[in-house]
């Protein structure tokens, strides 16, 4: 239970999320929007209420505040909850879209949703009824099973395998003007983009604040 969910109903907040989540207009139009949070704050508020820090001090051992492992565990819990929501919606004929860009602009999103230090926005989910032509649309290419599913041990992809796989999936060239192949295209559009740089900066801020030991319980 290391997660929480915020239903975003305020239209001004949805409009703002369009800007802070890499300019994606559908967020403002979505009739149902849920923000999934990795949340350790609730437990530590409960620990404080229960006198756990005082107990630790009396017994002579350190009171452990959240660290990197707790953040990863909380994010796993939140994403499991999010995927359950996706499957439940799909069973009702409702479509959904994950917005990972909610991890960007941490300072703005903290202010918008009043997020304390041990709460991290890991995923925004937008729900709505899909357009009638959805089944006929061309599907986004995916890696073949042999590159994703292994038995007993991890298996790295070799050079020649990359070439064959990428040609089969995406064709010879990418769409970015500076890209000579699909690998360069994906890097320039995603990993090497401005929004990816902002996400890295934002997550570093959140991680630093998460693992910093509070000076006192008032700093929780």
The pLDDT assigned to 178 comes to 74
The pLDDT assigned to 172 comes to 52
Q: pLDDT band for position 190 (50/70/90)?
A: confident
Per the model's pLDDT, the better-predicted residue between 4 and 144 turns out to be 4
Q: How far is CA 82 from the centre of its chain?
A: 10
Q: What is the mean predicted confidence (pLDDT) over 87-107?
A: 96
Angle between helices 194-211 and 68-91 (to 10 degrees): 120
Given a cut of 70, is residue 147 above it in pLDDT? yes
Distance CA 43, CA 49 (A): 10
Q: Which two tokens stand for residue 13?
A: 């907040």
Q: pLDDT band for position 161 (50/70/90)?
A: confident
Q: For residue 217, which of 70, 1, 38, 51 has the smallest C-alpha distance?
A: 51
Spell out the residues 6+ positions from residue 190 whose beta carbon is closer than 8 angstroms to its own: 196
Q: What is the mean predicted confidence (pLDDT) over 140-158?
A: 85
Given a cut of 70, is residue 179 above it in pLDDT? yes
Q: pLDDT band for position 160 (50/70/90)?
A: confident
Distance CA 102, CA 120 (A): 10
The pLDDT assigned to 13 comes to 98
CB contact at 8 A, 104 and 199: yes
Per the model's pLDDT, the better-predicted residue between 63 and 165 turns out to be 63
Distance CA 120, CA 145 (A): 32
Q: What is the CA radius of gyration of the chain?
A: 21
pTM of the model: 0.90
The pLDDT assigned to 61 comes to 92
Domains of the chain: 3-136 (3.40.109.10)
Percent of the chain with pLDDT over 90: 71
Q: pLDDT band for position 151 (50/70/90)?
A: very high
The pLDDT assigned to 16 comes to 98
Tens of pLDDT, residue by residue over 101-143, are 999 999 999 999 999 999 999 999 999 998 887 777 777 777 7
Q: Terminus-to-terminus CA distance in the chain, angstroms?
A: 19
Tens of pLDDT, residue by residue over 60-73, are 999 999 999 999 99
Strands, DSSP E only, in 17-133? 32-39, 95-99, 119-128
Q: How many CA atoms lie within 13 A of 215 on its CB side?
A: 1
The pLDDT assigned to 208 comes to 95
Q: What is the mean predicted confidence (pLDDT) over 45-56?
A: 95
Q: pLDDT band for position 217 (50/70/90)?
A: low
Given a cut of 60, is residue 174 above it in pLDDT? no
């Amino acid at each position: 239970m290391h997660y929480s969910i915020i239903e975003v109903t305020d239209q001004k907040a949805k409009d703002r999320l369009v800007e802070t989540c890499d300019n994606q207009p559908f967020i403002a139009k979505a009739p149902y929007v849920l923000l999934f949070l990795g949340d350790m704050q609730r437990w530590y508020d409960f620990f404080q209420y229960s006198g756990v820090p005082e107990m630790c001090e009396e017994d002579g051992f350190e009171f452990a505040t959240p660290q990197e492992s707790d953040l990863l565990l909380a994010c796993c819990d939140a994403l499991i909850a999010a995927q359950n929501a996706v499957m439940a919606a799909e069973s009702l004929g409702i479509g959904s879209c994950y917005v990972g860009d909610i991890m960007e602009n941490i300072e703005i999103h903290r202010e918008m949703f009043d997020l304390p230090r041990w709460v991290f926005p890991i995923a925004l989910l937008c729900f709505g009824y899909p357009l009638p032509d959805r089944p006929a649309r061309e599907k986004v290419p995916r890696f073949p099973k042999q590159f994703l599913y292994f038995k007993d041990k991890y298996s790295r992809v070799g050079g020649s395998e990359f070439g064959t796989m990428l040609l089969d999936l995406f064709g010879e060239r990418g769409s970015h003007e500076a890209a000579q192949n699909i690998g360069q295209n994906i890097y320039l559009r995603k990993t090497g983009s401005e929004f990816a740089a902002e996400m890295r900066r934002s997550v570093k801020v959140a991680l630093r604040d998460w693992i910093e030991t509070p000076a006192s319980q008032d700093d929780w």
